[in-house]
Amino acid sequence: MSAPRTALVTGCSGQDGGLAAELLKSEGYVVVGTTRPGSGKTGSAGAVDAWVEWDGLDQASTDRIIDEVGPDEVYNFAAFTSGQGMWADPVGIGEVNGLAVARLLEAVRRIRPEARVAQASSSEVFGRATRSPQDESARRDPRSPYGAAKLYADTMVALYRDHYDLFACAAILFNHESVRRGPGFVTRKISRGAASISLGLADSLMLGDLDARRDWGYAGDHVRAMWLMLQADEPQDYVIATGTSHSVRDLCRFAFEHVGLDYTQYVGTDSAAYRAPEAVPLVGDIGKARRVLEWAPQVELETLMHEMVEHDLALLRRKTATDDGASNDPR
């Protein structure tokens, strides 16, 4: 019986890293997750066999992790997030989302060249797209430090693949959500807003442009595609998306209808939250992933939004019960 494969998952405390750890564990891997120095062990504890501290800004730290773990596969999710954070710290974003990826590739090249590497890229590399939908050949023209750093990382993945013969792939991930999505993202704002209003904890929800459109999918589907990328015969980059765009208005309708409410009675707009729209819609063409990986998204956006609302309802009910219990404590 052969020994189980070892997967190194960076950014394991985040949405994608946690889902990846759970998928890999279910596939029989030994899963090693990384944490930032001093942050402790967090997230997906049941799926992670060991935790290691990794400073992606330091080459020696990166070399040590690759040497000690000896991974068969590396999944890099460690990054500044998109959304409102795309302009938060341009230099820091460049370091973490860009140069840290180069350090990781360099460590793999020198220490564990047989390892396979999957880099979580982003549709933000397309930025000011000139055609829609976007496939792997679409022009890259980012319009934020986040997108620029991701594009640098993608370029390094291609260079290390072509020049050093590493099995390295970039997954160009379009928007992907789950119940683990952070509160700063519009999908979570909406699911939490619908849940709060239905429970009488809030009476309105303010958002930006309700007609803004995105290609939103389920994060678990996207993570599964990344795993399939590393099981393929040849290393290639892939657009991972749903191929369908929805508006923020659609998200509101899905969420509020789930709790029996008409979103138009509760959702308002705040011009300060508007983001300049793309001239060409960002929608992924997943033909290559369907053809080569035999991958397709499984979870519909309406179903996903219902799950997110149910999750937030449960969280808010528990919080309300805890708060009520504390207020009734006679001590």
User: Measuring CA to CA, which residue among 119, 127, 123, 152 is closest to residue 136?
Assistant: 123
Q: Hunting for tokens 């449960």 — which residue is that?
A: 314
To the query of whether residue 271 is one of the catalytic residues in this protein, the response is no
Token digits for 82? 């998109």
Helical (H) or strand (E) element with 225: helix 219-231
Q: Residue type at 273?
A: A
To the query of whether residue 146 is one of the catalytic residues in this protein, the response is yes
To the query of whether residue 218 is one of the catalytic residues in this protein, the response is no
Which one of 29, 75, 82, 146 is the catalytic residue?
Answer: 146
Which one of 124, 177, 191, 245 is the catalytic residue?
Answer: 124
Contact 56, 104 (CB under 8 A): yes
User: Measuring CA to CA, which residue among 215, 190, 17, 209 is closest to residue 124?
Assistant: 215
Distance, in Å, from the CA atom of 149 to the CA atom of 154, rounded to the nearest integer, reads 9
Distance, in Å, from the CA atom of 109 to the CA atom of 312, rounded to the nearest integer, reads 43
Rounded alpha-carbon distances, angstroms, from residue 281 to 48, 67, 123, 245: 38, 43, 11, 8
Distance, in Å, from the CA atom of 48 to the CA atom of 19, rounded to the nearest integer, reads 11
- N- to C-terminal Cα distance for the chain? 60
Distance, in Å, from the CA atom of 331 to the CA atom of 329, rounded to the nearest integer, reads 6
Which one of 122, 191, 198, 245 is the catalytic residue?
Answer: 122
The residues annotated as belonging to the active site are 122, 124, 146
